[in-house]
Amino acid sequence: MRLTDLRIFGFAATMLVAATLAVPSFAAPGVAGAASAVPDSPGGAPVVLAQDGGGWHPLSPLLRLFRGGRRAAPPRKLQEPEKPQRTIRRVAPAPPKIQAEPKSADARTVLVVGDAMADGLARGLEAAYAQTPTIKVESEISRSLGLIRKADPDWPTRIAQRLKQGDVNVVVVMLGTDDRRQVTLDGQRAGFRDPAWEEVYRVLVQRTVAAVRDSRKPLVWVGLPPVSGPDRRSDFSYLNDFYKEKVETADGIFVDLWEAFLSEEGKYTSYGADVDGKRQRLRTEDGLYFTWPGYRKVAFFVQQRIARILGEGPALELAFPGGDANMILLSGGASREETLAGEEIAPAIPSEGSLQHRLIVEGRPLPQVEGRVDDYRITR
């Protein structure tokens, strides 16, 4: 190419650039952001500036040629701020107002002993016996005091002192939620689950059980429930083994809540059926304690054991042989007045001439029946 041609080409390019700056861009109808107006122009009229990537321009091919063939980046879209998500929390039902009937003068007393877990159980039992004038519920509660923590007096001494005051028919104990801590033995500290720790804790549980049984009172010990977290759940199951062993050895009643508060898959769950069969939140958000429906459910299981001792219902007879409360017989026998209508009561002594009289009274064998299983005769 000759020099004259290069000059002509340069002049044409310069004119094209100048024309580009003077010609406005044409935006497609309805396309937002294709052009922007600047109101502060010298002539007072708005100046329209072409926007790369928006609308169509007649000299777009030449502009891309002089820019090296690169397309301008599309305009950045402004992102709307994300709306905060609402956290829906299901509020656990609050304890209802209980309208309790006045208790009779000879009402029997259920004493609930223990920590914060026992406090909720006591309120659940109060609701359970609200319409039962013959049973009242009292409590001896220290919400943050377990068997490990030092206190004056400790739980065994405190229970013994309360029972000396009389007027207690059944003792219900629920302790241990705060006992996963180290102990001091002969000036040496022993960590939770160490052999030395086990030795100390076994003695503490035994002393607490003895404080009730030495006072000749029936004992119902409520085990710890399953809780959230595998480590804590394992620890609570471990503690329950101590309670169950010492309580049942002393002829007390151990209430095992474990299976009642697990899911069908055997896992921890905060929800379940309440005493009315409705699905409710039974556990608090910390995965440790119970909501009001949960405590009512715990009280329901405990109430079944108390019924064995206090004899709720006309068909349940309770006897202490020789006045010893350490021996509990649950006969379940019914008198003539307590039987169902039309039901015959078998006589205590078989009538004379009957097969029962021949076997039991006379001591003679019953006649053999050929082919029956007790027919040992040899057939030929």
**pLDDT (mean) for 280-300:** 97
Q: How confident is the prediction for the chain on average, in pLDDT?
A: 75
Helix (H) or strand (E) holding 200: helix 195-213
- CB-side exposure of 250: number of CA atoms within 13 Å? 27
Share of the chain residues as helix, strand and coil, in percent rounded to the nearest 5? 35, 15, 55
Residue-wise burial string across 279-304, b where 16 or more C-beta atoms lie within 10 A, e elsewhere = ebbbbeeeebbbbbbbbbbbbeebbe
Q: Are 280 and 291 in contact (CB under 8 A)?
A: yes
More confident residue, 135 or 368: 135
158 vs 162: CA distance, rounded Å: 6
pLDDT of the residue at 25 = 47
pLDDT of the residue at 259 = 96
Residue-wise burial string across 151-180, b where 16 or more C-beta atoms lie within 10 A, e elsewhere = eeebbbebbbebbeeeebbbbbbbbbbbbb
Residues 320-332 have pLDDT tens digits of: 334 443 333 333 3
Specify the DSSP class assigned to residue 275: T
**pLDDT (mean) for 162-182:** 96
**CA-closest candidate to residue 268, choices 278, 277, 276, 258:** 258
* Confidence band of 162 (pLDDT split at 50, 70, 90): very high
pLDDT of the residue at 331 = 30
Lowest mean pLDDT among 56-60, 121-125, 165-169: 56-60
298 vs 122: CA distance, rounded Å: 10
More confident residue, 294 or 30: 294
273 vs 260: CA distance, rounded Å: 10
Phi, psi of 99 (to 5 degrees): -95, 95
Residues 15-71 have pLDDT tens digits of: 665 555 555 544 444 444 444 444 444 455 544 444 444 455 555 555 555 454 455
Lowest mean pLDDT among 57-66, 153-162, 214-223, 341-350: 341-350
Q: Are 197 and 148 in contact (CB under 8 A)?
A: no
**What is the bridge-based pairing of β-strands 183-185 and 279-281?**
unpaired
